[in-house]
Chains A and B, each alone.
Chain A
């Protein structure tokens, strides 16, 4: 996959498949420390230690009967190729947290891609779940700016009107795209 946000989408789908009700996503671009950080935390069914080992290293596991997807190993390889890492923290019955880091300026780092479009489609297409999304940027001068999108107050306001109501789609799309683009503009701001 050619974008970090496509990996994010893939991992978020795993969280949905694991029966999560609350999914918390964080993307941080830190120019000062030259890091890109990604985190997806859910309260789904979680995994035991053996499964965690199996999903991060599918080709060395002794078990063959479990069908293991390639999504997480692909992201792990991509992070490690960019002076970064991938960690999976999970507990059965509690949930799973997946964190990946990259060297932001690494020449091999794939682009972040369409952050707003990814979040927009996840929220609308899994309207039954509670999504919280944070996009945080720290520019070269060390100044932080963040956009936090929590769909709970939006759903409370809407009541029985669905997110796919055309005017609601316009609202959500503008809110998310505007929030992300303000943060993106902040990255290039040098403090002068």
Chain B
């Protein structure tokens, strides 16, 4: 049976994270926003969000801010994900089901190249 996580475990994680941070070169922050209004949720936005968090965890990506927001106003394109990398303009993706997350995260967040075929004109 797995042991219950304690705040002491978390303190260790914090110290390690702060050390890594000092060693890291400034690459600019990443912001990811998932539309979580009623249409987004009905279209599968929760699974999309979980896939994004799993990707960050698996690939150990740092300095990412992940948020969810209400309706973005493009209901037929839900689930909608908006990604901003550093000072580049915000990119809006439509119909981002959980199975598209891996590709968008790999090419855009890690590789720095937005995935044109899933982008929508906002």
Contacts and interface: CB of A to CB of B under 8 A. Distances in A.
Interface of A: 1, 6, 9-10, 13, 16-17, 69-71, 114, 117-118, 120-122, 124-126, 153-154, 157-159, 161-162, 164-171, 173-175, 178-179
Interface string B13-45: 110111000000000000000101110011000
A164 B56 contact: yes
A125 B46 contact: no
Contacts of B37: 10, 13, 69
24 contacts: A1-B41, A6-B42, A9-B36, A10-B41, A13-B41, A13-B68, A16-B70, A17-B70, A69-B37, A118-B46, A120-B50, A121-B68, A125-B36, A126-B67, A126-B68, A158-B10, A166-B59, A166-B62, A168-B17, A169-B53, A171-B10, A171-B13, A174-B5, A178-B4
Contacts of B5: 171, 174-175, 178
B49 A121 contact: yes
Given A167-B16, A170-B57, A9 B46 contact: yes
Contact of A154 (B10, B18, B60, B66): B10
Interface in B51-96: 53, 56-57, 59-62, 64-68, 70
Contact of B53 (A6, A17, A124, A159): A124
